[in-house]
Structure 1
Amino acid sequence: MPVVLILLFIVCHALVLAIGSGPAGVGSFIFLVAAPLLAACCCVWRARHDRAALGWYTIALAMLLWSGGMALNLADALGAGRADITPRASLLLYVLYAVPLVFILARPRRERAIISLIEAAMAALLGVLFFVHTSFFADRIDVDEQAMRNMRYMFDVQNLCIASFATVRWLASDVPEWRSFFRVLALYALAYLLIAGYINHFTSEDSFGAYNDLLIDLPFLLLAWLAVRRASAPVLVPNPRLVRLVQAGGPMIVALLLLVVGTLVVDHARTLAFASFVVATIGFSLRSTLLQIGLLEHQAALDQLARQDGLTGVANRRQFDAVLQTEASRAYRSGAGLGLLLADIDHFKAFNDAHGHPAGDRCLQAVAAALQANVRRAGDCLARYGGEEFAVIVPDCGREDAVALAEKLRLGIETLALPEGAVSISVGVAFLRPSAMATTTQLLDDADSALYEAKRAGRNRVSVRDDVVAGF
């Protein structure tokens, strides 16, 4: 059905041209305004059904700008506009048409809103610069025969940049929805590049209302068809280095274009050129700073996850091993005592079997929270040692302090109220004396042996390996 409607659109436009499009080509102008509007509607429809919604809305905005430029041409042809304003306003819209496309091509897949706002402002300034430069040539067309040629080349460069960047983003996209989006944009941009180049260089002397107008419809109708077709993009495994290169280098596009176009307008818009240099420098620097802050925050979050048990929120086994080694080394140097507590939830397997794994997870979380509430010293480290077993590293303490903390933890769990009933823990305590030369492995073995003794003695109690510790 979309193909039939598109063919019908072309046929109707051709019939209007064959019959006569009316004074000043009004009939043809209606189709030229309608073609990008149709493409915009199709892109909006696709945006409502696609994860790459921002991209589709951006293309729709570009289509509306282009259609607005053509509508002003229509007004000018009908004599409804002002000769000193309407052509310049039409040129402005044709130039600004590229701004949303450059923005989406330069933007990484995911970005903070403030960074996107900075990029949008830089892209808008780029459009203003491009308009100033093309207006400079437009004002000289009557006195400089080279001016028209320069304008055509400027639009050729703009269209070539969009087509090239879109193709690169298509080849470097690793998310299916965005790969499909950039594929559509690349195909549209390539079609637009070829047809605009032909129209501008070979038929620019022809007025609107000729059969060449049918060519202008084609890129927009192609975009409309691709937007509603929703065909999966061909299977493509992008090169990981290319993906990273594009994601890292893409944001430089707008800043570099600002510098280049600013250099072009420096002779006839010095203030604006200086502003472009300042905005390109500050904008890119600010964007890089915000991005770096985001990366540091993300890295900090990853570091925290690497040290934290996902279920209970306390330190995980990796963090426990690192802290134990650090505190043991410090104890050797300073001569301070080091306590180690291993706590195991009594009859946890039976609890899990009776109440289910979700209840078991809630039990682990509740026990971890109760233990953490009683481990109050800043230097103490509570960790999930494995399964239903927890460990507490107690640096710079005496034997009595470690035993007292173990008893406090036991009592805290004994009074813990759970919907499924009461639970208890058994605690094994090991202590590294200042004069000890034992390893952390020996300390762990001692705590584990003490824990085993507590369970063998009836559970819900604290046991200390005094006989082993005394031999240190």
Structure 2
Amino acid sequence: MPLLLVLLFLVCHGLVLALEPGPAGVGSFVFLVAAPLLAGAACLWRARRGRAVLDWYAIALSMLLWAGGMAFNLVDALGAGRADLTPRISLLLYVLYAVPLVFILARARHERPSISLIDAAMAALLGVLFFVHTAHFAARIDVDDSAMSNMRYMFDIQNLCIAVFALVRWLATDTVQRRGLFRVLALYAMAYLLVAGYINHFASQESFGAYSDLLIDLPFLLLAVLALRQTAHSSFVPSPRLSRMVQAGGPMILPLLLLVVGTLVVDHARPLAVTGFVVATLGFGLRSTLLQVALLERQAALDQLARKDALTGVANRRQFDTVLQAEWNRMRRSGAGLGLLLVDIDHFKAFNDAHGHPAGDRCLQAVAAGLQANVRRAGDCLARYGGEEFAVVVPDATLEDTVSLAETLRRAVETLVLPEGTITISIGASFLQCSALLDIDTLLAEADTALYAAKHAGRNRVAVRVAQVVHVDASALP
């Protein structure tokens, strides 16, 4: 269906050109304005039905700017009775048309709004500088024979840069949605490059209203068709190194282009050129700083996730091993006491079988929260040891401190009320001074033996092991 509509559009445009000959025909301008508007509408439709929403909106804005430039051409043609001149406002809009495209080609995915705002500011200034340079040539057309050629080459360079950047992003992007976006943009940009090159260099003597206007429709209609089609899944997988290089190098596009175009306009617009140099330098520096802050925050978050149990939010086994080793080394240097608690939820397998795994997960989360609320000393570390077992490292403690904490934890869990009923825990505690045990494995073995003793004695209790099993009556504690 989209292809039939494209053919109908071209046939209607051709009929208007045949029935309304002349360089200032209004009918052809209507189609030249309508083609980019249709492409923009297709991009808006795509933005509302997929990802990369900002990018599709940017392409739609680009189409609107181009259509605006052609609309001013129409108004000027109606007023002057000729269509071979491009008013200054149209030239500005044709230049600004490239700004949203360069913006999306330069930005990386998942960027912060502040970084995107910096990119947008640099892209807008780039458009202004490019317009100033192009307008400089346009103003000299009557006195300089090479001015028109230079202006055409400037637009060729603009279109070529967009096509090349889009092609590189298409080949290097590793996500399906963005690859689909850059595929559409690359095909459109290459078609636009060819058509604009032909119009500017081989049909430049023809005014609007000639049959070459049909060629101008083609890139926009192609964009509309591609935007309306669903992204085809491809088996092509880009090189991870290439993908990372393009992702990292993309942000350099805008500052480099600002520096290049700023250099071109330095002779006839020195203040703007200096502004371009300053914005390129500060923009890239500020962007890099914000990006570095974001990377550090993301690294910190990942580091935090690597040390936490995903279900319960307490430290995981890896973090437990790290803390225990550090406290063991510190204990050997200082001679302070080191306590260890192994906590096991009583009858957890039966609870899981009776109420289901979601209820079992909620039980683990409730127990973890209850334990964490009572592990209050700064140096103590609660961790999920595995399955339904938890562990608590108690540094700089006495035997009485360790057993007292264990009993506090037992009573805290016993008072928890779950929809499925109450639950209890058994705790095995081990304790040592510097010379009491030989290594960490022995400390863990003592705690595990104590935990077994607590379970064997009837569960919902604390058992302590100091060199040998010692059962402590918690009710006798002060």
TM-score band by shorter chain is over 0.9
CA contact (8 A) 1:21 1:27 kept: no
Deviation at 1:19, TM superposition (A): 2.1
Equivalent residue, structure 2, for 1:62: 62
> Which secondary structure state, in structure 1, belongs to the residue aligned with residue 146 of structure 2?
helix
Give yes or no for contact 1:432–1:469 (8 Å, CA) kept in 2: no
Residue pair 2:43, 2:57 contacting (<8 A) in 1 also: yes
Q: TM-score, normalised by structure 2?
A: 0.95
Contact 2:24–2:78, Cα closer than 8 Å, also in 1: yes
Q: CA deviation at 1:183?
A: 0.7
In angstroms, what is the RMSD of aligned CA positions? 1.7
Query: What is the CA–CA distance in structure 1 between the aligned matches of 2:386 and 2:442, rounded to whole Å?
Result: 18
Match of 2:112 in 1: 112
Query: Which residue of structure 2 lines up, in the alignment, with residue 288 of structure 1?
Result: 288
Measured against aligned partners, the alpha-carbon deviations of 1:7-43 in whole angstroms (never above 9, x if no partner) come to 1111111122222245612221111111111111111
Provide the rounded CA distance (Å) in 2 between the counterparts of 1:398 and 1:469. 17
Which residue identity is paired with 2:197?
G
Tell me how far apart the structure 2 counterparts of residues 231 and 313 of structure 1 sit (CA, whole Å). Answer: 39
TM-score normalized by the length of structure 1 = 0.96
| Aligned equivalents of 1:405, 1:264: Cα separation in 2 | 74
* Contact 2:22/2:210, CA 8 A, preserved across alignment: no
1:335-374 equivalences under 5 Å are 335-374=335-374
Matched, 1:314 2:295: no
Does the CA-based 8 Å contact 2:346-2:459 persist in structure 1?
yes
How many angstroms does 1:466 deviate by? 3.4
For residues 270-306 of structure 1, the C-alpha deviation after alignment (integer angstroms, 9 at most, x for no partner) is 1111111111111111111111111111111111111
Distance in 1 (CA, whole Å) between partners of 2:229 and 2:207 is 34
Q: Residue in 2 aligned with 1:430?
A: 430
- Once the 2 structures are TM-superposed, how far is the Cα of residue 350 of structure 1 from its aligned partner? 1.4
Count of residue pairs brought into register by the alignment: 468
Instruction: Give 3-state SS (helix, strand or coil) of 1:384's partner.
Output: strand
Q: Is residue 101 of structure 2 the alignment partner of residue 101 of structure 1?
A: yes
d(CA) in 2 for partners of 1:466, 1:395: 15
Unpaired stretches in structure 1, ≥5 consecutive residues: none
Matched, 1:262 2:256: no
| Structure-2 separation of matches of 1:337 and 1:167 | 65
Shift of 1:201: 0.9
Pairing 1:53–2:30 present? no
- Return the alpha-carbon distance in structure 1 between the equivalents of residues 80 and 409 of structure 2: 86
Identity over aligned residues, as a percent?
75
Equivalent runs, 1:409-428 vs 2, <5 Å: 409-428=409-428
Counterpart residue number, 1:212: 212
Find the counterpart in structure 2 of residue 378 from structure 1: 378
Distance in 2 separating the partners of 1:70 and 1:140: 22
Residue identity in the other structure for 1:104: I
Of 229-238 and 36-45, more deviation after overlay is shown by 229-238
**Bigger shift: 34-43 or 460-469?**
460-469
Equivalent-residue separation in structure 1 for 2:298 and 2:352 (angstroms) = 36
Shift of 1:469: 8.1
Secondary structure (helix, strand or coil) at the match of 1:59 reads helix
The verdict on how the C-alpha distance between 1:36 and 1:319 changes in structure 2, with shifts beyond 3 A counting, is: same
For 2:321 and 2:245, the matched residues in 1 are separated by 38
Q: Distance in 1 between matches of 2:354 and 2:13?
A: 76
Asked if 1:131 is matched to 2:131, the reply is: yes
Quick one: distance in 2 between partners of 1:393 and 1:26? 83
Distance 1:156 1:434 in 2: 78
1:165-223 deviation per Cα after TM superposition (whole angstroms, max 9, x unaligned): 00001001111121111111111100110110111111112111111111111111111
Q: Distance in 1 between matches of 2:397 and 2:251?
A: 54
Residue ranges of structure 2 left out of the alignment (5+ in a row) = 471-478
> SS at the partner of 2:428?
strand
